[in-house]
Structure 1
């Protein structure tokens, strides 16, 4: 029986290598555990039930843990690097209307943080990003 569980483990491991998801690896681990448990349990039906229970439990518990950990992970983007940077207004920013600013040689649409008018040529600081617009304030 140990040889059969070893073959099952290898088949699931190969299946995991071929697929990009972390799904089949848990069945491979379950089969490896059954290699040792089959020394103590002779009934094949009980072995299959234990294999299914271990594999599905690992799949559900570890997948939930990975997903939960992924939810709290903050992906670093190049946009965050622009926060706090200074730039120049290329096209006047009017209250509730977008203007254009140049920050690190890139043009961005922008809005004023306080809804104030910021004239062309003024120096600004990037406060936050909303969608594809920079929210800026005039440096006095």
Structure 2
């Protein structure tokens, strides 16, 4: 029976290598555990049940840990990379109106965070992004 569980472990390991997710590895690990347990348990039905229980438990535990870890990770997309950077006002930003800000050589539409007028040439900090507009504040206002 040990050779059958070894074959199952290899099949799931090969399947895991062919997929981009960490799903089948837990079935492979479960099969490796059953190689040891099959020395003590003669019933094939109990072995199969243990295999399923161990594999599903490992899958659930690992998935929860990965999802929890993933929640805290900040993805650095192009838009998120621009947050907290500095820019220069190219076209005056009037209260409740859009102006233009240059950030790293790119022009962006921008509005003031506090609905204040921000004059041309003023250094600003990008606070957030809403749609295609930057929400900015004067860089010297902390």
Q: Give the alignment of 1:96-107 within 5 angstroms.
A: 96-107=96-107
Q: Measure, in 1, the Cα distance between the counterparts of 2:85 and 2:19.
A: 42
State the 1:106 CA deviation. Answer: 1.5
Where in structure 2 are there 5+ consecutive unaligned residues? none
Aligned Cα root-mean-square deviation (Å): 1.9
TM-score (norm 2): 0.86
- Offset, 1:122: 2.9
**Number of the residue aligned with 2:121:** 122
What is the count of residue pairs matched by the alignment?
138
Aligned residue in 2 for 1:91: 91
Q: Is the 8 A contact 2:125 2:139 kept in 1?
A: no
User: How far apart are residue 108 of structure 1 and its match?
Assistant: 1.3
Matched with 1:34 is 34
Give the gaps of 5 or more residues in structure 1: none
Shift of 1:124: 2.4
Q: Which residue of 2 aligns with 1:109?
A: 109
Once the two structures are TM-superposed, the CA of residue 64 in structure 1 deviates from its matched residue by 1.1
- Report the TM-score when normalising by structure 1: 0.87
